[in-house]
């Protein structure tokens, strides 16, 4: 009886990357008292585990046609037309897929998430995989930069590198690339995580990462990543 329950729990644990992340985040404070060391260990552990997570195979060619209705905001080539819309070109397919599914289920909240619900409500799983593969295949551009200080942001970004990469290019496909993203969108996302208003996907992983950032820190980080 005991073994069966343990086995079931283990199977569930291995299937669910969010559960792994949450469990690590919850248990690590007990193992080590240092905040930054804790963050680094979590980042490295998750990065090591995640490449194994399965993902539907998308067809970028089919996705291009399906993405026509997205161009009004995200641009014909995945480069957004306004700074509050995220660039999608060159973003990780798995992160895009997770985000679209979270909007479709209306699980992703905060920021301008509600704008996205109607846009993706009619997409089937294969459509979502195709659209994600299409945007992931496009070359990433530069983000629109806002008021922050990019040099100051570079210094503050050290603690983000374990997941988002030293150059803003994420180390695992479920983490978004931040390089070349619009600063206004990044600032909004950081504020939404900090207020724990952004939910869905793996958003809970971000709450602790940005909890100690001031508005000025968020603006500096956003300016830094947008310019990469």
Nearest approach in angstroms of CB 189 to ligand HEC is 4
Rg for the chain, CA atoms, rounded? 18
> Residue 74: in which H helix or E strand, if any?
helix 71-74
Size of the site for ligand HEC (CB under 6 A): 48
User: Please, what is the minimum distance in Å from the beta carbon of residue 151 to ligand HEC?
Assistant: 16
197-226 positions binding ligand HEC, by CB under 6 A: 198, 201-203, 205-206, 209-210, 221
Q: Which of 150, 189, 223, 226 binds ligand HEC (CB under 6 A)?
A: 189
Q: How many residues belong to the chain?
A: 228
Question: Could you say which residues in the range 149-178 bind ligand HEC, by CB under 6 A?
Answer: 159-160, 162-164, 174-176, 178
Q: Got the DSSP string for 11-67?
A: HHHHH-HHHHHHHHHHHHHHH---HHHHHHHHHHHHHHHGGGS--PPP-HHHHHHHT
- Secondary structure element (H or E) that encloses residue 220, with its range: helix 215-226
Cα–Cα distance between 34 and 36 in angstroms, integer? 6
Supply the minimum distance, in Å, between the C-beta of residue 5 and ligand HEC: 29
CB of 10 to ligand HEC, least distance (A): 22
Q: Does 24 bind ligand HEC (CB under 6 A)?
A: no
Question: What distance in Å separates the CA atoms of residue 163 and residue 222, rounded to the nearest whole number?
Answer: 16
Residues that bind ligand HEC (CB under 6 A): 39, 42-43, 46, 69-70, 72-74, 84-86, 88, 96, 98-100, 108, 111-113, 115-116, 119-120, 131, 159-160, 162-164, 174-176, 178, 181, 186, 189-190, 198, 201-203, 205-206, 209-210, 221
């Amino acid at each position: 009886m005991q073994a069966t329950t343990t086995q079931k729990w283990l199977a569930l644990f291995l299937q669910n990357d969010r559960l792994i992340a949450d469990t690590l985040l919850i248990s690590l404070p007990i193992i080590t008292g240092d905040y930054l060391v804790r963050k680094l260990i979590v980042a490295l552990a998750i990065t090591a585990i995640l490449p194994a997570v399965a993902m539907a195979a998308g067809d970028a060619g089919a996705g291009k046609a399906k993405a026509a209705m997205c161009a009004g905001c995200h641009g014909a080539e995945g480069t957004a037309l306004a700074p509050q819309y995220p660039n999608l070109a060159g973003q990780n397919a798995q992160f895009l897929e997770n985000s679209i599914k979270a909007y479709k289920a209306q699980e992703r909240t905060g920021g301008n998430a509600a704008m996205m619900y109607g846009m993706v409500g009619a997409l089937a799983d294969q459509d979502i995989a195709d659209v994600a593969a299409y945007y992931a295949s496009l070359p990433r551009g530069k983000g629109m930069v806002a008021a922050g200080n990019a040099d100051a942001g570079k210094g503050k970004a050290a603690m983000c590198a374990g997941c988002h990469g030293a150059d803003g290019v994420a180390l695992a496909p479920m983490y978004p690339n931040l390089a070349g993203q619009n600063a206004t969108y990044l600032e909004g996302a950081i504020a939404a995580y900090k207020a724990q208003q952004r939910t869905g996907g793996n958003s809970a992983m971000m709450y602790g990462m940005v909890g100690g950032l001031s508005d000025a820190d968020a603006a500096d980080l956003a300016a830094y990543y947008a310019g990469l």
